[in-house]
Chain A
Amino acid sequence: MKKRKLIWKLFPAYLAITLFSLAVIAIIATRSVRDFYYASISAQLESFAHLVDQQVANRFSEFTIDELDSISIRLGELTSSRITFIHPDGMVLGDTDRDPLEMENHADRPEIAAACTGKKGVSIRFSPTLKSNRMYLALPIVHEDDLVGVVRVSRSVEAIDNALKQVYTWIFLGGILIAVLASISSYLVSRRISKPLVDMKEGANRFAAGDLDHKLVVPPTEEIGQLADALNEMASQLRERISTVTSQRNELEAVLSSMVEGVLAVDINERILRMNHAAGRLLNIDPVKMKGRSLPEAIINPDFLAFAASVPGSSENREGEIVIGDGERYLQAHGTHLLDAEGEEIGILIVLNDVTRLRRLEKVRRDFVANVSHELKTPITSIQGFVETLRDGALNDPKDAEHFLEIISRHTDRLNAIIEDLLALSRIEREVEKNDIPLERGSIRKVLQMARQNCEPKASAKNIAISLKDTKDTQSMINAPLLEHAVTNLLDNAINYSPEAGEISLDVLTEGGEIIIEVKDHGCGIGTEHLPRLFERFYRADNDRSRKLGGTGLGLAIAKHITIAHHGRVSVDSIEGKGSVFRIHLPVHI
């Protein structure tokens, strides 16, 4: 439907009402004016007629036509009206303006007919004789109860018609003026009504455009004022709601983005609704770019896609593990159905936990169990195997027997050494846990000297010189026997991996708030790939060689744990073929 301006609705109504009322008033007014005029004329005519009647009644029948005609002319001139005498049979006997003989029979005239029955007859009509609108009034002339004739008095009513015509012209002109005034006033009124509405429309448009701080001016009109108040109220409530929603969304956003766990919401069409930074980081994708993308498009990891696909079909929460890259990262995934407020399913929610550290620790533990079992099983296999071999007949060959017994003895020693080291290690660990290791001020130099002394026989067997450089007598809070054990282990290692007649240096440095005990060899060195795991229990960079050299695989682990008991740390640098430097870092002040 075409929308029209308010003025085009108001104006025709205005105009119609004013013109209608004007017309009604004009009609009523002219009619009453005319009626009044006619009434007064008729009263005048009647009084003339009575007068004439009285004059002529007694002798009416005695007058001749000429007498009557001259009477009518004389009286007509006196009263400036036309007077006609008519015989009851309709013949005109005398007339002011015309010769009675020329006039037709007047019996059919309504006023005459009425007068012939003895009553007063009045009629207003066009007189063909005088060519004008006239009012006729006729009275019977009665003499001694006999109707002897009729006297008719008439006067022109043209004057009133002309006056009324003038009035109609004025009314018409007034109507035009009123129409103009009506259009002006309806324009003004419609403006007055529509202006605040237009203002409000603009205000509402601003609200719609999001400018809720805008205030509508409240117009003085009650209804529109209430509307403006209502709109303002609505805007302020909207503003409040929006600010609540915004702050809630910001809170949610903040919670999601500061979560360590990855959170990913996907709709039923597998489009990403939301994902936090952690999810992006864990899955190696940019969370901002991925919003609205489909899952298979955004994430290529097959584990993840398989997991996500399994969630919608399952009746309960799903759990799964996702491997990113080639074991670069392990994620634990929880999948649940995403429900809206009505409990209608709108997608799925996946929460990701980084369990890489856990998996690595599990691997270290698994490796440890496998390693312990391997390290212990190897000597036991040798011992059990050779004992059985001896029983099965090898005893009969003294040379074999001697050789086998020697192997058995060697493996017994090794088993013993491993058990000793394991016990030492678990004791140190337990004591570190309980903070049960007493530290007291002591000379590090003395500890190094003792360690060197411990290793002297083994070193001189390989012709290895151990130099001790510490010139200052550095003191620190130490547990001398334990630290000696740690340094001895490092020295023993260095001797094992040094060539015949090699050199090992033992040094103490103070550097960067740390006391560093350094054991440096010029042996075969260790591959870089082994360095991070070197201090793990039973970790062997070179399985074959180290076992042959009599290590238990626990020496470095023990050194590390003793250092931890001293609130320090261990480190290693190595160049393959050039040698290695093992360091014990102790804090200067505890």
Chain B
Amino acid sequence: MPKEAILIVDDEEDILELIEYNLSKEGFRLHTAVSGEEALRIAREELPDLILLDLMLPGIDGLQVCRLLKSDPDTAHIPIIMVTAKGSESDVIVGLELGADDYVTKPFSPRILLARVKAVFRRRTALSDEDESSPIRYPDLIIHPDRFEVLLEGQPVDLTATEFRILEYLARRPGRVFTRDQIVDAARGKDYPVTDRSVDVHIVSLRKKLGIVGKQIETVHGIGYRFREL
């Protein structure tokens, strides 16, 4: 089976070479682009399975590329991992809200980048295999969305409706970072008004109720939350 195709976008040739070298070792098929315009063109022509997108690009910048790709039905499904220098959390939040799947900050370890790439592919496969009502299983935690039940080490845990929705939303997409706004949108559900700061309160309460498993809900400083993979 041919490995997935990845488009690497970075204006720095040495970094392109670094990523290329490490990903090609894993057998991925690779495309590279050094500008936003080139990235858009290749993404539309080649329809890669993943895009590694540097946000600081000459011409059309990375966020704009992300926005254009996510608003185009042909390319909206392509997962995007943003690559960015630290100190631009606001860009990361915008990117995540535009639909980017994850982000890596420079300087990054090629091993970690590889792990993130693999995680995105794994999540994609996992998500396509299951539907929204199938139970989510972790070693000490089982969530039954259809029964509205959470079992912690086999014992049911009493959660509020909002806490339950937040937990289900995060746990179904482990490793992926969500901004508070995204969590609000997911948890709002039918009639629960949730403000983005009250998300913090729900998370604190969730962590307390989930004990040791609660530590898997990580705060991503300046961005939001994610459910850590084990």
Which stretch of A59-67, A167-175, A193-201, A379-387 is in the interface? A379-387
Q: B3 — which chain A residues lie within 8 A by C-beta? A: none
Evaluate contact between B58 and A542: CB separation under 8 angstroms: yes
Q: A394-B21, A544-B34 are in contact. Are A381 and B107 (CB under 8 A)?
A: yes
Q: A383 — which chain B residues lie within 8 A by C-beta? A: 107
Evaluate contact between B18 and A386: CB separation under 8 angstroms: yes
In the complex, A388 has a CB within 8 A of chain B: yes
Kindly identify which residue among A370, A377, A388, A543 contacts B58, using a CB–CB cutoff of 8 Å: A543
Closest to B113 in A: A385
In the complex, A104 has a CB within 8 A of chain B: no
Q: A370-B85, A373-B87, A543-B58 are in contact. Are A378 and B12 (CB under 8 A)?
A: yes
Closest to A403 in B: B17
In whole angstroms, what is the CA distance A378 to B50 when docked?
22
In the complex, A389 has a CB within 8 A of chain B: yes
In whole angstroms, what is the CA distance A542 to B86 when docked?
22
In the complex, A374 has a CB within 8 A of chain B: yes
Kindly identify which residue among B18, B58, B85, B106 contacts A389, using a CB–CB cutoff of 8 Å: B18
Nearest Cβ on chain B to A532's Cβ, whole angstroms: 18
Closest to B105 in A: A377
In whole angstroms, what is the CA distance A390 to B110 when docked?
11
In the complex, A87 has a CB within 8 A of chain B: no
Place the interface of chain A in its size category.
20 to 34
Kindly identify which residue among A382, A394, A540, A542 contacts B12, using a CB–CB cutoff of 8 Å: A382
Q: A369 — which chain B residues lie within 8 A by C-beta? A: 87
Q: A374 — which chain B residues lie within 8 A by C-beta? A: 56, 85, 106
In the complex, A446 has a CB within 8 A of chain B: no
Closest to B34 in A: A544
In the complex, B88 has a CB within 8 A of chain A: yes
Q: A370-B88, A382-B14, A407-B14 are in contact. Are A377 and B106 (CB under 8 A)?
A: yes
In whole angstroms, what is the CA distance A384 to B17 when docked?
13
Q: A547 — which chain B residues lie within 8 A by C-beta? A: 11-12
In the complex, B13 has a CB within 8 A of chain A: yes
In the complex, B22 has a CB within 8 A of chain A: yes
Closest to B13 in A: A548
In whole angstroms, what is the CA distance A79 to B3 when docked?
179
Q: A370-B87, A382-B12, A544-B35 are in contact. Are A377 and B107 (CB under 8 A)?
A: yes
In the complex, A108 has a CB within 8 A of chain B: no
In the complex, B128 has a CB within 8 A of chain A: no
In whole angstroms, what is the CA distance A389 to B22 when docked?
7
Closest to B87 in A: A373
Evaluate contact between A381 and B58: CB separation under 8 angstroms: no
Nearest Cβ on chain B to A349's Cβ, whole angstroms: 31
In the complex, B147 has a CB within 8 A of chain A: no
In the complex, B28 has a CB within 8 A of chain A: no
In the complex, A485 has a CB within 8 A of chain B: no
In the complex, B111 has a CB within 8 A of chain A: yes
In whole angstroms, what is the CA distance A380 to B85 when docked?
11
Q: What 1/0 flags go to A26-64 for Cβ under 8 Å of B?
A: 000000000000000000000000000000000000000
Interface residue ranges of A363-379 to B (CB < 8 Å): 369-370, 373-374, 377-378
Q: A540 — which chain B residues lie within 8 A by C-beta? A: 58
Nearest Cβ on chain B to A550's Cβ, whole angstroms: 13
In the complex, B155 has a CB within 8 A of chain A: no
Q: What 1/0 flags go to B6-17 for Cβ under 8 Å of A?
A: 000001111101
In whole angstroms, what is the CA distance A57 to B12 when docked?
178
In the complex, A511 has a CB within 8 A of chain B: no
Kindly identify which residue among B18, B22, B56, B57 contacts A382, using a CB–CB cutoff of 8 Å: B18
Nearest Cβ on chain A to B87's Cβ, whole angstroms: 4
Kindly identify which residue among A377, A378, A388, A410 contacts B110, using a CB–CB cutoff of 8 Å: A388
Evaluate contact between A389 and B107: CB separation under 8 angstroms: no
Closest to B56 in A: A374
Evaluate contact between B18 and A385: CB separation under 8 angstroms: yes
In the complex, A82 has a CB within 8 A of chain B: no
Interface residue ranges of B124-166 to A (CB < 8 Å): none
In whole angstroms, what is the CA distance A156 to B111 when docked?
165
Q: A385 — which chain B residues lie within 8 A by C-beta? A: 15, 18-19, 22, 107-110
In the complex, A537 has a CB within 8 A of chain B: no
Q: A380 — which chain B residues lie within 8 A by C-beta? A: 106-107
Nearest Cβ on chain B to A48's Cβ, whole angstroms: 136
In the complex, A392 has a CB within 8 A of chain B: yes
Nearest Cβ on chain B to A281's Cβ, whole angstroms: 32
Q: A378-B12, A381-B15, A543-B11 are in contact. Are A389 and B110 (CB under 8 A)?
A: yes
Evaluate contact between B17 and A388: CB separation under 8 angstroms: no
Closest to A545 in B: B58
Q: B109 — which chain A residues lie within 8 A by C-beta? A: 384-385, 388
In whole angstroms, what is the CA distance A382 to B20 when docked?
12
Q: A585 — which chain B residues lie within 8 A by C-beta? A: none
Closest to B86 in A: A373
Q: A377 — which chain B residues lie within 8 A by C-beta? A: 85-86, 106-107
Nearest Cβ on chain B to A365's Cβ, whole angstroms: 12
In the complex, A411 has a CB within 8 A of chain B: yes
| 18 chain-A/chain-B pairs, Cβ below 8 angstroms | A370-B87, A370-B88, A373-B87, A373-B88, A377-B86, A380-B106, A381-B18, A381-B107, A382-B12, A385-B22, A386-B18, A389-B21, A389-B110, A392-B111, A411-B14, A543-B57, A547-B11, A548-B13
New A-B pairs, 7, CB < 8 Å, besides A373-B87, A543-B11, A544-B34: A370-B85, A377-B86, A380-B106, A381-B15, A381-B107, A388-B109, A392-B111
* CB-CB nearest 9 A-B residue pairs: A543-B58, A381-B107, A377-B85, A377-B106, A385-B18, A373-B87, A381-B106, A382-B14, A373-B85
